[in-house]
Structure 1
Amino acid sequence: MPPLDALVRDAHALAMGDAVPVSDAEAEVARQLQICNACRYCEGFCAVFPAMTRRLEFPKADVHFLANLCHNCGACLHACQYAPPHEFAVNIPQAMARVRGQTYHDYAWPPALGKLYQRNGLTLSLALAGGLALFLVLAVALKGGLWQVPGADFYAIFPHNLLVGLFAPVFLFAVLALALGVRRFWRDVTPATSGAPVSPPAAAEATHDVLRLKYLDGGHGEGCHNDDDAYTLARRRCHHLTFYGFLLCFAATSVATLYHYLLGQPAPYDLPSLPKLLGAVGGVSLALGTAGLWRLNLRRHPLQGDAAQKPMDRGFIALLFLTATSGLALWLARGTPAMALVLCLHLGAVMALFATLPYGKFAHGIFRTAALLRHAVEKRQPSPIGLGAD
């Protein structure tokens, strides 16, 4: 028989209108938000608290929405008079982080792979990249071309059609899995966020907030908290370097695809070609950003997040860093005996990154974008209780 506290929690959830009983993590967020709703000291810090004031209760869908709206800047924890060791033990960043991790698992597609969120750690990520790279190295070695110098032609090692056949299915599966997961999330949180359709002004505001990483400013524009009470913009800057570095690298690959198929110009490319320019700037930005995020992750205060998710966080950071640095190293290794080996390492890192995208920390950007868009829609509607701060 389930414990008494679990029965009480499930009955409370059903009374609040939840078709599915809430988890311990969701119930804890609801408890803390009830306290925050009575205090409202942090009302101007970020999007979470104005959205919170539009609610008197916090069913499952509302908790999922608010948890993914949180950017874990830490400002509310450091400002809160009810934070640990107070008996109320209000720690919004940590409670929200635990629910976010649960939402990635709950909305994973296919559902059977949701458990990968709990296992997608640093060791697994690097082992997958290393295993794929080793497989490619053995394939090249069996052909007798591992230490040969094939000039600067990557396709002399791996034919273009072979690379497309290897990477396209993995990438398309990752896109499909993420799209289906966030579609379910969107469908669940839309009724909880007014149900109104997306308008052009709301879409423009959400896009602006996503591209600027607006809510990593710590609520005052001075930055996030990390290992102490001091504000720092380092976390926002490292996220910007990582985010835009990734986008530039993706743009370089997209432009190179157009060069290959439309212009008949196969890789490799040299400066000042657009693919090389985008890839070089993006690779350096991505390497610097992920190195900074790794350092900040190691120094983050244990109360500012969910310790259980750190292996997943670090695995994603490590794969991004390895992808960026191996890509830059490949540029330097062109035309040398090391080119085939470095190419195998780079391709292994990229394939491992693609394979883990739907089941790692990358998902937080997709779910957070959806939450920001629903917030931009909701704030334009009248508050259902007449108390909203928007």
Structure 2
Amino acid sequence: MLESLIQDARQLAVGHGVVSPAVAEVARQMQICNACRYCEGFCAVFPAMTRRLEFGAADVHYLANLCHNCGACLHACQYAPPHEFAVNVPQAMAQVRGETYVAYAWPAALGKLYQRNGLTLSLALAAGLALFLLLALAINGNLWGGPVVGDFSKLFPHNLLVLMFAPVFLWAVLALGLGVTRFLRDMSPATSGQAIAGGDLLQATHDVLVLKYLDGGHGEGCNNEDDAFTLSRSRAHHLTFYGFMLCFAATSVATVYHYAFGWHAPYDWPSLPKLLGVVGGVSLLLGTTGLFRLRQRRHPLHGDAAQKPMDYGFIALLFLTSATGLVLWLARGTPALALLLALHLGVVMALFATLPYGKFAHGVFRTASLLRYAVEKRQPSSLALEDE
């Protein structure tokens, strides 16, 4: 009887546009959760769920990207494994998010490649780019020591750096922009279809900046390896997120200095670019170290094991970006300047080249889902209208 009910739920999901087993499984579990509603106050997923009686592909991708994988619903669920209903919302949502990254990647082939070989591809790309820069320095006799100690602008002039990094950066922006535009276009009909208002932008921005749903819905933190609540995931994500943003701000301020004021790098301490870069680098180093440790200890039911290479690849590139940048700053007056600069630039280029196809994409799609959630929740529920 039970197996028949589960199969009927899966067939119902497929009948409403579901195209993969992962999406069908989320639709099945949402049918069960919609009847229970014990977790209704945990995060944005469950209030959004209660507005629906059926779960098509667009609904499932929307809900999956609202999920912050905090694990609270898994540890609170009376139907979680080993129960025969086998409700595991965090894992099922993670599997669908993995499909989202590939489905909305541009071009799609790169998304599939990175998903399968994330860590290997990240490190190989960083090493390859660094080796190319090292060879260029070696050919010019600037690989070690020499008259360029303390001034990397003599190794790679500003205009050359722009020529190297601008295409990679613009590619990342283009690929992510195309992907999230398609995602919003597909999600809009499933989330009321109403236009985005200024208040929706403010609400979504607030929820993103404070990482609102990483507290398990009750402010005590997430679950990680067991039933105990911990704020470690929230803190590690905050350090990583704001560390990355501060490093990006340092580069942006340096760009303004260069073009608007004619103040050329390198900048000495305590200039604003240096201050932002050092604080951001330390924050990013601490955050990625925390995420790596938490990922190793994470309960196996919390996420999708197939995405581990992609997770570790992104963490590794962020960690190496901050580590090589800080070491470069500390050793800028040594003969190792050229070697360290090539390593740092190779890692940074690899990071931006892979941004649209790795774990960074989840932040973009999650932001888009939170934006549609802000639109949807200010609209009257269609279920409430039907009751009237």
Give 3-state SS (helix, strand or coil) of 2:382's partner.
Answer: coil
Aligned partner of 1:385: which letter? L
Structure 1 unmatched runs, 5+: 1-6
Aligned partner of 2:121: which letter? L
- The equivalences for 1:268-347 within 5 A come to 268-347=266-345
Give 3-state SS (helix, strand or coil) of 1:386's partner.
Answer: helix
- The equivalences for 1:52-201 within 5 A come to 52-149=49-146, 150-201=148-199
Q: Equivalent residue for 2:3? A: none
Alignment match of 1:36 (pick from 33, 38, 48): 33
Distance 2:213 2:159 in 1: 43
Aligned partner of 2:49: which letter? M
- The equivalences for 1:15-34 within 5 A come to 15-16=15-16, 18=17, 21-34=18-31
Does the aligned pair in 1 maintain the 2:65–2:97 contact within 8 Å?
yes
Quote the offset at 1:282 in angstroms: 0.5
**What does the per-residue CA deviation read over 1:19-57, in whole Å, with 9 as the maximum and x for residues that have no partner?**
xx4200000000000000000000000000000000000
CA 1:11–1:88 in 2, change beyond 3 Å: closer, same or farther? closer
Does the aligned pair in 1 maintain the 2:9–2:28 contact within 8 Å?
no
Matched, 1:238 2:236: yes
Distance 2:227 2:329 in 1: 42
Alignment match of 2:356 (pick from 346, 358, 366): 358
Of 117-126 and 310-319, more deviation after overlay is shown by 117-126
Quote the offset at 1:13 in angstroms: 4.9
Matched, 1:47 2:40: no
Distance 1:220 1:93 in 2: 17
CA 1:301–1:14 in 2, change beyond 3 Å: closer, same or farther? closer
Matched, 1:267 2:262: no
Distance 2:121 2:200 in 1: 39
Distance 2:115 2:352 in 1: 18
When the two chains are superposed, the root-mean-square deviation of aligned CA atoms in Å is 1.6
Quote the offset at 1:15 in angstroms: 3.6
Q: Equivalent residue for 1:215? A: 213
**What does the per-residue CA deviation read over 1:297-328, in whole Å, with 9 as the maximum and x for residues that have no partner?**
00000000000001100110010000001001
Aligned partner of 1:340: which letter? A
Quote the offset at 1:11 in angstroms: 6.8
Distance 1:373 1:260 in 2: 35
Give 3-state SS (helix, strand or coil) of 1:71's partner.
Answer: coil
Quote the offset at 1:9 in angstroms: 9.1
Does the aligned pair in 2 maintain the 1:120–1:359 contact within 8 Å?
no
Quote the offset at 1:8 in angstroms: 8.8
Quote the offset at 1:117 in angstroms: 3.6
Distance 2:9 2:72 in 1: 29
Distance 1:15 1:87 in 2: 24
**What does the per-residue CA deviation read over 1:262-317, in whole Å, with 9 as the maximum and x for residues that have no partner?**
11111110112110011011001000000100000000000000000011001100
Give 3-state SS (helix, strand or coil) of 1:83's partner.
Answer: coil
Quote the offset at 1:12 in angstroms: 4.1
Does the aligned pair in 1 maintain the 2:69–2:302 contact within 8 Å?
yes
Q: Equivalent residue for 1:380? A: 378
Quote the offset at 1:112 in angstroms: 3.0
CA 1:387–1:235 in 2, change beyond 3 Å: closer, same or farther? farther
Quote the offset at 1:342 in angstroms: 0.4
Quote the offset at 1:84 in angstroms: 0.3
Distance 2:276 2:70 in 1: 30
Identity of aligned residues (%): 76
Distance 2:370 2:10 in 1: 29
Distance 1:31 1:10 in 2: 6
Quote the offset at 1:114 in angstroms: 2.7
Give 3-state SS (helix, strand or coil) of 2:150's partner.
Answer: coil
Does the aligned pair in 2 maintain the 1:136–1:348 contact within 8 Å?
yes
**TM-score, L = length of structure 1:** 0.94
Does the aligned pair in 1 maintain the 2:267–2:273 contact within 8 Å?
yes
